[in-house]
Amino acid sequence: MPAMAAVWPALREELDVHVAGRNRDGSPAWHLADPVRNQFFRIGWLEFEMLRRWDLGDPQRIADAVAADTTLMPGPDDVQGFARFLQQQQLTRDTSLRPPTSVAHWLLHNYLFIRIPLIRPERLLRRALPFVEPMFGMRFLLVTLLAAIVGVLFAVRQWDTVLANLRGAMSWDGVIAFAGALILSKCWHELGHAFMATRYGVKVGHMGIALLVMWPMAYTDTGESWKLERSRRRLAIASAGVLAELVLAAWCTLLWSFAPDGNFRNALFFLGTTAWVLTLLVNVSPFMRFDGYFILADALDYPGLHERAGRWAKRWMRRVLLGLDDPKPDAVSPRFAAFLTVFAFATWVYRLSLFIGIAVVVYHAFFKALGLILFLVEIVTFVMKPVFNETRVWWARRDEIRWSALRVRLIVPAMLALVLFVPWSSRITADGVVEAGYRQAVFTPFGARLDAINTRDGDVVPAGKVLFELSAPAPQDDGDKASVLRDAYESAARGAVALDRNGVAKQVVAERMAERYTAQRDASMAEKGRLQLIASEQGVVRDVDPTLRKGNWVSPGTRIATVVGSTRWRAEVLVQEADRARLSSGAAVTVYPHGGLQPLRGKISMLDSGAVDHLPSLVLAKPHGGPIALNPTRPAKELRPAGVWYRVVVEGDGLKEPLPAELLADVRIEGERQSLARRWVDSALLTILQQTGLGKEG
């Protein structure tokens, strides 16, 4: 016993106990107050009796004394559990003497929400309270309700002006008015809390600014409202801020109809229509410790709602998953216990989403290396640490687990693990564009006259088919002239030796000129051959110029038709970097063109080894209706994607009819099998590499 007494944790001397009314089951309750940290802890009859006998210094002696003096029947385990709670909450001397936390450590864990006290308004509030006391009366509330009704009626009568003010909010004058109105609204909100607390005798410690992810917010310290035994008074303090803004909105809506145009009228408009809506959106949620939480807790008369509901949810998990039969945290009805359990799970889901969102905001608010570190700190502190703490409790109580029941309950986690870790899927989904595998544009080589049109739009033509016949005077005239000159020089070469003593030299010159004009004649004939416009492969004739007529002259470089391959097709597909490693040349691909066409089946013909610098087609870009987002920091005309994408070329045959045009398509590729867990891990690692500058970026 003496040894146990020597290590028994002593309570801090500054702690105090206040009567807290009764719990929901009618049992008495007290508040254990920590004035140094301005915190309180609601305790029940058993805990109060333990505290009265804490100086006995031994769990068994304390339990026996409580059992002897009251109708309670605690055991030593109950006393030790309460002692652990006091130590965890730093209410004992051994924990109060811990070395102070370093500034760097404090900033790392508290930079998301930093309170900056500015004023201690207690004396000012008490002096001003008589002047605002009439605003708490029923007469003022009725007049305010009447003002709200009249203001809304006046606003409806000039609805066009209301809509114009909403549109004008985007101007600089509108922004200035909105900022001023927002500051006034938030200060008025906090004064509502402060005056209501002062009215009920609660000391307002200080007022100031809180930085929530570096965003300034006004706040009021009404932490001592727990001293009020009546929950209705605590509820009034918690809801006073929202009610104050609603009162302000009612009068501003009425005054807006009579105020002259300008920033003052704009400010009244925002106070009457926007500021209170923002307040409700922020404060209505009971899942964070804003007004909505305290309103709900006081309405239920259930202080410490988050913590106590969390204990019910943990008890439910341990009972359902592990078969542990923990005692009920509170004496409440089964329906209320079910509500607390569901509320706790909803709070956890909400906070998980919120903390992940905050982590993303923090990541983007700083340079990449620091942003990534802070992102991981948020995830570890707010997401992983609570999970680890609960898992540690499970491990410490592993001897109490009913393994037969656990095996049954592990079926669902086992099935989930099967889905996550077994590489079931080999399918890769992607987006791309599909078009005909062969496309020949038919151009006129130079200015010429159209002598014959041998095809029409939609004709199926074989390879070598002459589509159009053209003629031009220049190639014909040049060819005729070259033929005449060649013949002349050949004749001159034959007679040069007989007619002139220098005939040998002249013969050589004549032969050279004859060869020159022979080449010129052949070139002219080749140019003339280009006037026969021929289909290089079998296909369908498309886009024939409807203005073409026999005998018309056609300008050089004019596109007069297109021959589209009738059976082959080609698709350019974009895949993500994680999927690129799972692909190989020759893999089977199914392409589903948009527009209700039949699926196309082909194979990969080419895999790019480097990421694309720009999209292969305009129709893939999101601004043009495609699925790929463009890089917002680059000009849109560059078609530079926001992410890292690799091009895959797919080819196939067997079209029943030619594709009408370049079409968007959904693509399914058979790649290497990979589990969902592996895919998520690879994606996370890839993101880390990219965002730390070690990988590729879009």
pLDDT digits (tens, 9 = 90+) for 129-163: 999 999 998 999 999 999 999 988 988 888 777 77
Question: Is there a single domain that holds both residue 248 and residue 232?
Answer: yes
Q: Is the pLDDT of residue 215 over 90?
A: no
**pLDDT for residue 341:** 94
Give this prediction's pTM.
0.58
Instruction: Answer whether residue 120 is part of any domain.
Output: yes
Q: Is the pLDDT of residue 691 over 80?
A: no
The beta-carbon contacts of 166-173 under 8 Å, at least 24 apart in sequence, are 166/273, 168/266, 169/270, 169/274, 173/263, 173/266
> For residue 560, what is the enclosing H or E element?
strand 559-565
Q: What is the mean pLDDT of residues 447-468?
A: 80
Q: CB neighbours (10 Å) of residue 478?
A: 18
- Cβ burial 606-637 (10 Å sphere, 16+ → b, else e): eeeeebbeebbbebbbeeeebebebbeeeeee
Better pLDDT: 211 or 240: 240
Q: Indicate the range of 101-110, 552-561, 671-680 predicted with least confidence.
A: 101-110
Q: Indicate the range of 161-165, 295-299, 409-413, 533-537 predicted with least confidence.
A: 409-413
- Structural domain that includes position 379: 304-421
Domain end call among 494, 521, 554: 554
Report the C-alpha gap between 274 and 182 in whole angstroms: 9
159 residue type, one letter: W
Question: Is there a single domain that holds both residue 352 and residue 212?
Answer: no
Q: Which two tokens stand for residue 233?
A: 């008074």
Q: CB neighbours (10 Å) of residue 376?
A: 14
User: Which of 83-87, 340-344, 461-465, 644-648 has the largest mean confidence?
Assistant: 340-344
Domain count, the chain: 5
Q: Which of 89, 248, 112, 274 is nearest to 179 (CA)?
A: 274
**pLDDT for residue 62:** 92
Q: What separation in angstroms does the CA of 603 have from each of 427, 670, 671?
A: 14, 10, 12
| Measured torsion, CA atoms of residues 332, 335, 341, 342, in degrees rounded to the nearest 10 | -150
**pLDDT for residue 287:** 87
Helix (H, G, I), strand (E, B) or coil at 20: strand
Question: Is there a single domain that holds both residue 294 and residue 359?
Answer: no
Q: What is the mean pLDDT of residues 284-296?
A: 86
Phi, psi of 654 (to 5 degrees): 95, 20
**pLDDT for residue 518:** 61
Question: Is there a single domain that holds both residue 107 and residue 76?
Answer: no
Q: Which two tokens stand for residue 286?
A: 């009971």
**pLDDT for residue 97:** 47
Question: Is there a single domain that holds both residue 341 and residue 403?
Answer: yes
Instruction: Answer whether residue 429 is part of any domain.
Output: no
Residue 16 forms beta bridges with which residues? 33
Instruction: Answer whether residue 495 is part of any domain.
Output: yes
Q: What is the CATH number of the domain that holds 630?
A: 2.40.30
Question: Is there a single domain that holds both residue 293 and residue 310?
Answer: no
Instruction: Answer whether residue 680 is part of any domain.
Output: no
Q: Is the pLDDT of residue 381 over 80?
A: no
DSSP 424: -
Q: Is the pLDDT of residue 529 over 70?
A: no
Domain end call among 500, 525, 554: 554
- Split at pLDDT 50, 70, 90, the class of 112 is low
The beta-carbon contacts of 120-123 under 8 Å, at least 24 apart in sequence, are 120/205, 120/206, 121/194, 121/204, 121/206, 121/207, 122/198, 122/203, 122/204, 122/205
Report the C-alpha gap between 696 and 631 in whole angstroms: 14
Instruction: Answer whether residue 682 is part of any domain.
Output: no
Better pLDDT: 222 or 198: 198
**pLDDT for residue 3:** 40
User: Contact 642/632 with Cβ under 8 angstroms?
Assistant: yes
Tell me the per-residue pLDDT of 19-52, one tens digit each, with 9 for 90 and over: 887 777 777 888 888 877 777 788 888 889 999 9
Report the C-alpha gap between 652 and 570 in whole angstroms: 6
Q: Is the pLDDT of residue 264 over 50?
A: yes
- Split at pLDDT 50, 70, 90, the class of 346 is very high
End-to-end CA, the chain: 70
Calculate what percentage of the chain has a pLDDT beyond 70. 78
Instruction: Answer whether residue 296 is part of any domain.
Output: yes
Domain end call among 260, 279, 300: 300
**pLDDT for residue 344:** 93
Question: Is there a single domain that holds both residue 221 and residue 324?
Answer: no
**pLDDT for residue 521:** 56
Q: Is the pLDDT of residue 70 over 70?
A: yes
In residues, how long is the chain?
698
What does the angle CA 336 – CA 342 – CA 347 come to, to the nearest 5 degrees?
120
Question: Is there a single domain that holds both residue 591 and residue 543?
Answer: no
Better pLDDT: 331 or 391: 391
Report the C-alpha gap between 560 and 545 in whole angstroms: 5
Cα 558 → chain centroid: 49
Tell me the per-residue pLDDT of 302-322, one tens digit each, with 9 for 90 and over: 888 888 899 999 999 888 877
Question: Is there a single domain that holds both residue 579 and residue 524?
Answer: no
Report the C-alpha gap between 129 and 155 in whole angstroms: 33
User: Contact 584/426 with Cβ under 8 angstroms?
Assistant: no
Question: Is there a single domain that holds both residue 253 and residue 173?
Answer: yes
Question: Is there a single domain that holds both residue 151 and residue 284?
Answer: yes
Phi, psi of 235 (to 5 degrees): -65, -40
**pLDDT for residue 507:** 55
Question: Is there a single domain that holds both residue 153 and residue 177?
Answer: yes
